[in-house]
């Protein structure tokens, strides 16, 4: 057992936590849409073909916003294919994922699903084969009142009121050579200035998300952001970042340390954004929209091989990763990282919602079940609100192969003044118990409201066979006296403690 001392002082309060850190992502990829969220004829399907078992799980998960329709898919997507009478919608060869897109599910279906799920829609527009005109026509269709061609088309399709989509992504991963319509930073930056200006002229309420680096491993990393923002800073509200982590073969300690790499990624890009802001003498800061993130253990070449084998089928099953307890710990650490950077990270979309790198898994015509990563997300989405506390942790650390110093215990502390509670989320990265002492300075704690632990004696265990194998359990391994709380963090575990404050 090792010792950890955490200090939470009421005076040292950080930024408010955006509710949209708890977002997700739906792409026309594999079984994410078809047999994921949408499956007419399923025993639980409603009148719109939406799986109500999945809708229930999405609501319970606490998802606050969902990005749609891609992803790589969007860069060759013609949004008008997916509206109007379904019998008139064309089938297309979807070249990003080598499948047949029936267009049975499109913009109007997504908006209706989002309303039922209780999530804010985030719309991505085609900037691969499309451009400014595609963005404008879709924005008119979604956001403007009747009276012009595309807004009247929406009304004709049975939707009288505008959808008022607040956030618009100008393309997807445009720095990636794999992307249909890949751009140089200069060309994309010019397009950002054109499209951002046009969207905001059409609807001044729109907030734009501009593509940053697809990962920190890109050869253009940091140069891409600098060049794009030098062209388009004035029309950018959020810079989009993406990152997935794998590498279990390196060992669990190296694997769990990757959340620190994520911290450095965010810190670096914030620095680039602020450098361009200073150069352009602009006061307004750009925030971060981390609209694709997750643990993706399936190698990229394996995914590419699976895609090649699809032979243009409809909603093929591929890249359906089954998550371990170990994966859930890194996943939790990544989500906690966004909370740590809540001053600048305002939107985050876990990727993807169903079946591919997903929290929710479904069987065609069968049941839906949740993976271990579902639980840290759902608890943080429910209780991770309020102010981030600038807490201080004294704990031993270990070193990775690249000499990164990694604390044994990762944590965030949140002060929810409205609910009068301090909430601690923590990941124990070690195979031994941690005796954690928390000093709550300036607060008057009165009780432990809830203490939940997610762990398993086998970090490689999954929920695939027994869907309840890894689930959160209540713990009583804590003691509260005066301003001090002591508790035991189990080996390789994620924990949440809610402390009532008088």
Catalytic residues: 173, 292
- Beta 493-501 vs 445-454: how paired, if at all? antiparallel
* 121/114 Cα distance (integer angstroms): 6
Contact (CB, 8 A) for 499 and 423: yes
**How many C-beta neighbours within 10 Å does residue 411 have?**
23
CA–CA distance, 346 with 298 (Å, rounded to integer):
28
Report the C-alpha gap between 484 and 421 in whole angstroms: 15
For residue 280, count CB atoms less than 10 angstroms from its CB and return exposed for 0-12, middle for 13-18, buried for 19 or more: exposed
How far, CA to CA in Å, does 188 sit from each of 76, 114, 193?
16, 30, 9
Sign of CA dihedral 387, 290, 185, 101: negative
Among 307, 343, 318, 283, smallest CA distance to 94 is for: 307
CB within 8 Å of 404: residues ≥ 6 apart: 257, 260, 261
Longest dimension (CA), the chain: 69
Distance CA 419, CA 497 (A): 14
Residue whose pair of structure tokens reads 């379904």 in the numeric block: 86
| Residue reference for tokens 């060992």 | 251
Q: How far is CA 343 from CA 220, 406, 460, in A?
A: 26, 23, 35
- Cis peptide leading into residue 69 (ω within 30°): yes
Check if the beta carbon of residue 45 is closer than 8 Å to that of residue 39: yes
Quick one: residue 127, left, alpha or beta (phi over 0 = left, psi -120 to 50 = alpha)?
A: alpha
Q: What sign results for the dihedral spanned by CA atoms 153, 159, 162, 166?
A: negative
- DSSP 8-state assignment for residue 74: G
Q: By the 8 A CB rule, do 490 and 457 touch?
A: no
Task: Give the residue among 78, 118, 116 at the shortest CA–CA distance from 95.
Answer: 78
Q: Which residue has the tokens 């070193």?
A: 399
H/E stretch holding 413:
strand 409-416
Q: Given the structure tokens 């079984």, which residue do they identify?
A: 31
DSSP structure string for 393-441: EE--EEE-TT--EEESEEEEEEEETTTTEEEEEEEE-SSS-EEEEEEEE
Cβ–Cβ < 8 Å for 425, 412: yes
CB 291 within 8 A of CB 349: yes
């Amino acid at each position: 057992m090792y010792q950890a001392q955490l200090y939470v002082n009421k005076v040292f309060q950080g930024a408010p936590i955006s509710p949209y850190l708890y977002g997700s992502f739906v792409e026309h990829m594999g079984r994410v849409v078809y047999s994921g969220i949408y499956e007419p004829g399923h025993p639980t399907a409603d009148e719109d073909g939406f799986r109500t078992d999945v809708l229930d799980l999405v609501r319970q998960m606490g998802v606050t916003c969902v990005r749609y329709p891609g992803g790589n898919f969007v860069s060759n997507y013609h949004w008008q294919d997916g509206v109007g009478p379904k019998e008139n919608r064309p089938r297309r060869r979807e070249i990003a994922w080598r499948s047949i897109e029936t267009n049975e599910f499109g913009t109007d279906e997504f908006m209706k699903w989002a309303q039922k799920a209780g999530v804010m829609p985030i719309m991505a527009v085609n900037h691969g084969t499309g451009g400014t005109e595609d963005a404008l026509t879709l924005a008119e269709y979604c956001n403007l009142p009747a009276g012009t061609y595309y807004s009247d088309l929406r009304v004709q399709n049975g939707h009288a009121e505008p959808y008022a989509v607040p956030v618009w992504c100008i393309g997807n991963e445009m720095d990636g050579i794999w992307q249909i319509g890949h751009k140089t930073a200069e060309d994309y930056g010019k397009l950002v200035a054109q499209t951002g200006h046009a969207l905001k002229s059409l609807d001044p309420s729109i907030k734009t998300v501009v593509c940053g680096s697809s990962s920190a491993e890109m050869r253009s990393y940091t140069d891409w952001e600098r060049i794009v923002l030098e062209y388009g800073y004035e029309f950018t509200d959020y810079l989009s970042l993406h990152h997935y982590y794998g590498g279990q073969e390196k060992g669990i300690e190296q694997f769990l340390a990757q959340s620190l790499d994520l911290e450095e990624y965010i810190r670096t890009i914030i620095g680039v954004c602020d450098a361009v802001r200073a150069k352009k003498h602009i006061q307004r800061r750009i925030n971060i929209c981390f609209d694709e993130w997750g643990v993706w253990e399936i190698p990229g070449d394996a995914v590419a091989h699976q895609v090649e084998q699809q032979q243009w089928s409809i909603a093929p099953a591929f890249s359906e990763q089954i998550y371990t307890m170990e994966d859930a710990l890194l996943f939790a650490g990544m989500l906690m990282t966004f909370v740590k950077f809540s001053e600048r990270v305002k939107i985050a979309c876990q990727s993807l919602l169903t079946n591919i790198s997903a929290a929710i898994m479904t069987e065609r015509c069968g049941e839906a079940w949740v993976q271990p990563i579902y639980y840290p997300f759902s608890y943080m989405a429910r209780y991770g609100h309020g102010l981030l506390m600038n807490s201080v942790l004294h704990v031993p650390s270990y070193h990775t192969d690249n000499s990164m110093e990694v604390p044994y215990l990762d944590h965030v502390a949140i002060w929810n003044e409205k609910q009068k509670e301090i909430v601690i989320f923590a990941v124990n990265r070690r195979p031994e118990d941690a005796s954690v002492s928390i000093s709550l300075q300036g607060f008057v704690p009165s009780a432990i409201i809830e203490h939940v632990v997610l762990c398993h004696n086998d970090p490689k265990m999954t929920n695939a066979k027994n869907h309840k194998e890894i689930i959160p359990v209540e713990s009583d391994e804590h003691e509260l006296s005066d301003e001090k709380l002591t508790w035991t963090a189990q080996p390789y575990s994620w924990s949440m403690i809610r402390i009532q404050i008088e």
